[in-house]
Amino acid sequence: MNDSKNMKNDSPLLALKALGQHVWLDNLSRALLQEGSLQRLITEDGIDGVTSNPAIFQKAIAGSPCYHDELVRLRNSPLAAEARYESLVIPDIQAACDILLPAYLSTQGDTGYVSLEVSPALAHDVAGTVAAAQRLRRAVGRENLLIKVPGTPAGVQAFEQLTAAGVRVNVTLIFSLTQYEAVAQAYLRGAQRWLDDGGNTAQCRSVASVFLSRVDTRVDKRLDVIGAKPALVLRGRTGVALAKRCYSRYLEIFHGPAFATLAEAGVRSQTPLWASTGNKNPAYSDLLYVEPLIGPETISTLPDAALAAFRDHGCAATTLTTGMREAHSHNVALRALDIDLGEVGDSLQTDGVRLFGEAYEQLLIGIAQLPY
């Protein structure tokens, strides 16, 4: 009787882990830490990672009284703007890492990570990104930290160098299969360099964050402009198709000869992470970027609303490998309408860097002005 009751009350999110998919929270704030909300998500829903970005911290710091005393102190501080920001968020990152340490230890470093992003102003600066990543890694001082680096051409170069130096990285702002391919190949090169230099293979860990909802938002606008039925029937399908095509390529690379030597040496594969999973179009399912993309060796990072939606009415089933042929056909159909997903991805990445940069600048200004 009690076992039946417990089964009934189990969160559907726990079933995702049983299917080989980790769920990370796409949010972090001091309130989540101090009020015990993050610990409850870990205990009740099986959440075993956290991602953050400048926009998340901007909202957290501006909207919570938890930072009030430190903001008052910083008003008269000689610290530069970026140092003030880091003095606020690094303790939050450290606390989240400590809460997730059991997951990190129990999986021998497979999961249990918290992501902290380098300044978006460095998106096109290889040396600056490498230096900032190393500095933040030392400042946080936690093994279960992932440094977030953008998947720009410069960011990919920096990522390879960081991997070769044993730094664990979350490569973010990936919007196309071409960008994903570049990131995966950089991981292979960086991991091989680390191995050749005698590095501990257990130190190699990376995730590749593929953004989904923004792709549909951009492509759907172009399809609406075309207006014909062959275009309109393609709406709301590009993000999921992108994820499936990236996963197909992941299987080819990391379960194929390109990774075989590294795998034999004990290097972990680079895990695909589904990001931007909050639906931005109310006409679509609120689980559009969750339910069709459930599969092993992946991470789904969910904002609060998507977490709540899956907890309420989500269906856990292995779906990621179904519809692979349709995903390819979708890409072909878009090309026939002169929609180039490579160009779309490059444009979205440029916009993503700009938007994160704007959020970061507003955050630095806000820290100087708050509390009012």
Angle at 177 between CA 171 and CA 182, to 5 degrees: 50
Looking up tokens 């191995």 gives 195
Gap between the Cα atoms of 2 and 362, Å rounded: 51
280 given a catalytic annotation: no
Locate all alpha helices (DSSP H) within 75-150, ordered by sequence: 81-106, 126-140
Do residues 288 and 240 lie in contact, with contact meaning Cβ atoms separated by under 8 Å?
yes
Which DSSP helix (H) or strand (E) runs through 24? strand 21-25
Cα-atom radius of gyration of the chain, to the nearest Å?
Answer: 20
Phi-psi region of 116 (alpha: psi -120 to 50; beta: other; left: phi over 0): beta
End-to-end CA distance of the chain: give it in Å, rounded: 55
Helices (H) and strands (E) counted in the chain, each on its own, are 17, 8
User: Crossing angle, helix 324-336 and helix 238-254, to 10 degrees?
Assistant: 120
Gap between the Cα atoms of 372 and 366, Å rounded: 10
Do residues 222 and 322 lie in contact, with contact meaning Cβ atoms separated by under 8 Å?
no
Candidates 96, 106, 172, 104; CA nearest to 143 is: 104
Gap between the Cα atoms of 166 and 138, Å rounded: 13
Angle at 360 between CA 170 and CA 180, to 5 degrees: 30
Gap between the Cα atoms of 149 and 130, Å rounded: 9
Among 8, 148, 221, 229, the active-site one is 148
User: Residue 290: how many CB atoms within 10 A of its CB?
Assistant: 28
DSSP 8-class letter at 66: G
User: Alpha carbon 56 to chain centroid distance?
Assistant: 13
Structure token pair of residue 285: 């399912």
Active site residues: 148
